[in-house]
Amino acid sequence: MTSLIKQLKQGTVYFPITFHMHQPVGNFPWVIEDAFQKAYLPLLQTIKNHSKVKINLHISGPLLIWLKKYHPNFFDLIKLLYSNNQLEIIGGGFYEPILAIIPEEDRIKQIEKTVNWWRENYNITPKGLWLAERVWVPDLPKTLAKLKIEFVFIDDYLLRMAGLSEDETFFTYTTEYQGYPITIFPINESIRYLTPWKSPSESIKYLQKARDSSHEAIVVMISDAEKMGVWPAGDRTTHDICYVNGYDGRKGWMDSFFEALIDHNWIKPVLLSTYLSNHTPKGLVYLPTSSYDKMAIWALPTTLRKRLERLRKKAQNGELSHAKDILTFTQGSIWQNFLVKYSQANVIHKRMMYCRNKLKTFESLLSTIEVQKIWENILASQSNDAYWSGMFGGIYYRFLRHTCLQHIIRADYLIDQSCKEKNITLPEVLTQDVLLDGHMDGILENENISCFISSLKGGSIFSLNLKERNYDFQNVLQRIKESYHTEDASIVEDGIEKWSFQDHFFHEISGVQIYQTNHYKDVGDFANQEYAIECDSENRIILHRKAKVRLTNNNPVSIVIRKSYKLMNSSLLITYEIRISGGIDETELYFTPEMNFLAASYPYKTFSFLNKKKYGLNELIEEKNCDLVELHDTNEYENVSLGIELPNSMQCHLFPIYSQAKSELGFEKQYQGTSIFPFFKITKEKSLFQIRITLKSLEL
């Protein structure tokens, strides 16, 4: 009898259908509501109508919080499907972090928070883990085993990188790290691209390909639930395709898909835990550090990404010999290199790490409630969406970066307040390698402001925070050329970081468009270059550099720049001393400390002011006699301002920084910050001047 049952199961394809629902920390309520109405709710309602279909569901923490607040009845539907054994809940990092880039303690806190949320609210204990962006590193099994996680999803791309054939991906496997094992479910790439873009019959054909008369197989389907409702699809949306007209104009794709699965009795939709309780893994594998194939390509520098994309396209079209080998063995980069590709992602990540390490220093001295509040903000700042970009916006959306930074600054502020209450003295000035680039950075802090300065990149400010409003004015994205930017597109690239107090020398003052498009000629060698750094007894960060400047006759002259940063209540005082060796007979030499600041954290109308005259942020401004620049971010979320006091009236250019980002709807012109170029005329062997920056909250 046992032999007969085994024979009947041969040729069976188990088909765990898994949906992933996620919204970033800080996303707009109306965006989430649209996804709820068009994707989340109709998806589960459709599943309810197909009692033989079973699904596995992951919902990220930010979305759980929102659903609980605005649509609590949605969980009644989840509980119904769960009680009917139609649904299994999958866990994950609560705020959807990339587990590979956070410490193990943080990984555990993130995963435990999700498990505890489901257990405390609905008496459900997730047994499996959704891995954000499927970013795998080999040490993860040790973390997951400590939490008694039984299984995790990885892309079948990683199995192929490990040398397995497509047929060998139709099984579960075990992997381990230092003796800690975990079961892995390979996510099938082909099925992911078929749904919902092709008719259900195409998916059935693929599953037939996986079917083998000699054994059972498993094909794991994972899809973003948003893809099943809010994605554009030509002149339609996937909501229309999935739940209204489908491709035949008569029935929604999702109904047709589920019906097709049930019509083929050799296809078994299954809950993952049920499958594991009845099946053992095929064997042991070891996987490389990676993610899915496209992510690995996106993480490459743009030039290399374009080369690899061209190579793979030629291989896919059969234009190259050994095409199959090329597609199998050509690989991109690892996810962590997004922190190199986008320096602002690295700033957010390293500011988070600096803040959590600061907490660890004082954690044992603080109360449990204080520590919980601080950790909550640190964990929220790890939400991955602001750290990278692939097919769509990601890091290009400044409000996502802003939200992560808000949580970091809030955590930092709470640490300061708790230490103050306990009479713990915190340093006001220090040097430390915050960015972990092998070079010391300067840190200035008081009750109102924190300021971080890079010695490697021009002695420039990479983070400037108004603590009470959790606002980083330095949240400006450096523009790079992406592979999706065409050759004829008017894309502006930034050759240097768009941080503040990047030091330039010019022979003349050009029109503002020259600076906006980076067509200026800097005759010095200071911007983005390394400065020596130290802190002194007056609580100042001091930086200096000696380099050459070419005069109009092309002769080089040695110039030393010494600049200091000092906090004074709600102001930052920057003092410059410029010395020219051997004197100067130059009649036209200008020095510009380029500044770049965020002036609109969200996509609302805000303003700049020069000498109290109001301008829109989109305007290009040339002011001949300027001594005060103000940037106001005023909307329903923020009311803050940054004021720049120049030592005397001088010519000043001001212009917006725009990037061309890609979204589901095409290209979007995204404001990334405002650039200020004041021009100091150099006529002496030694020049001294000061700039004062004041940060404050505005009256509502």
Calculate mean pLDDT across residues 490-514: 94
Instruction: Output the pLDDT for position 338.
Output: 94
Confidence of residue 179 (pLDDT cuts 50, 70, 90): very high
Residue type, 58: H
CB-hemisphere CA count at 13 Å for 692? 10
**What is the spatial distance between Cα 397 and Cα 264, in angstroms, rounded to a whole number?**
45
Among 303-317, 356-370, 555-569, the minimum mean pLDDT is found in 303-317
From residue 368, give the alpha-carbon distance in Å to each of 119, 365, 371, 374, 423: 22, 9, 5, 10, 18
Q: Residue 110: pLDDT above 80?
A: yes
Considering only CA atoms, which of 402, 397, 339 is closest in space to residue 661? 397
Model pLDDT for residues 416-442, shown as the tens digit of each residue? 999 999 999 899 999 999 999 999 999
> Which letter does DSSP use for residue 590 in this model?
E
Calculate mean pLDDT across residues 209-215: 90
Question: pLDDT: is 601 or 81 the higher one?
Answer: 81
Percent of the chain with pLDDT over 70: 97
Confidence of residue 614 (pLDDT cuts 50, 70, 90): confident
Q: What is the mean pLDDT of the chain?
A: 92
Tokens 């094992």 belong to residue: 181
Residue type, 306: K
Q: Residue 300: pLDDT above 70?
A: yes
Confidence of residue 585 (pLDDT cuts 50, 70, 90): low
Instruction: Output the pLDDT for position 635.
Output: 77
Residue type, 685: E
Instruction: Output the pLDDT for position 54.
Output: 96
Instruction: Output the pLDDT for position 311.
Output: 85
Determine if residue 26 is left, alpha or beta; phi over 0 gives left, psi from -120 to 50 gives alpha, anything else beta.
Answer: left
Q: Residue 467: pLDDT above 60?
A: yes
Side by side, which strands form the sheet with 460-466?
429-432, 441-445, 449-454, 460-466, 471-472
Q: Residue 223: pLDDT above 60?
A: yes
Q: State the Rg of the chain over Cα.
A: 28
Confidence of residue 1 (pLDDT cuts 50, 70, 90): very low
Q: Residue 666: pLDDT above 60?
A: yes
Pairing mode of beta strands 236-237, 232-233: antiparallel
Tokens coding 233 = 């699809």
Considering only CA atoms, which of 44, 59, 46, 37 is closest in space to residue 122? 59
Calculate mean pLDDT across residues 580-605: 83
Instruction: Output the pLDDT for position 587.
Output: 65
Tokens coding 549 = 């400047």
Confidence of residue 361 (pLDDT cuts 50, 70, 90): very high
The 10 Å Cβ neighbour count of residue 304 is 14
Instruction: Output the pLDDT for position 588.
Output: 79
Instruction: Output the pLDDT for position 208.
Output: 95
Tokens coding 427 = 């340093």
Q: Residue 127: pLDDT above 50?
A: yes
Percent of the chain with pLDDT over 90: 77
Tokens 């995790």 belong to residue: 152
Confidence of residue 514 (pLDDT cuts 50, 70, 90): very high
Tokens coding 329 = 């063995």
Residue type, 554: N
Task: Write the CB contacts of 126 (distance below 8 Å, at least 6 apart in sequence).
Answer: 89, 90, 91, 114, 115, 118
Model pLDDT for residues 623-641, shown as the tens digit of each residue? 999 999 999 988 778 889 9
Confidence of residue 4 (pLDDT cuts 50, 70, 90): very low
Confidence of residue 133 (pLDDT cuts 50, 70, 90): very high
Instruction: Output the pLDDT for position 91.
Output: 98
Q: Residue 464: pLDDT above 80?
A: yes
Instruction: Output the pLDDT for position 7.
Output: 47
Question: pLDDT: is 236 or 45 the higher one?
Answer: 45
Pairing mode of beta strands 607-610, 639-663: unpaired
Among 67-71, 160-164, 672-676, the minimum mean pLDDT is found in 160-164
Distance from first CA to last CA of the chain, Å, rounded? Answer: 79
Confidence of residue 320 (pLDDT cuts 50, 70, 90): confident
Calculate mean pLDDT across residues 472-492: 86
Q: For 396-429, b where at least 16 C-beta lie within 10 A, e where not — what string? A: bbbbbbbbbbbbbbbbbbbbbebbeeeeeeeeeb
Instruction: Output the pLDDT for position 681.
Output: 93
**What is the spatial distance between Cα 326 and Cα 320, in angstroms, rounded to a whole number?**
9
Per residue, the 3-state secondary structure of 35-90, as one string, reads: HHHHHHHHHHHHHHCCCCCCEEEEECHHHHHHHHHHCCCHHHHHHHHHHCCCEEEE
Instruction: Output the pLDDT for position 617.
Output: 85
Model pLDDT for residues 187-205, shown as the tens digit of each residue? 999 999 999 999 999 999 9
Contact 203, 190 (CB under 8 A): no
Got the DSSP string for 133-169? Answer: GG-B-TTHHHHHHHTT--EEEEEHHHHHHTT--SGGG
Instruction: Output the pLDDT for position 268.
Output: 96
Instruction: Output the pLDDT for position 488.
Output: 63
Tokens coding 475 = 């949240």
Q: Burial-class residue 115 by CB neighbours within 10 Å (0-12, 13-18, 19+).
A: buried
Instruction: Output the pLDDT for position 319.
Output: 85
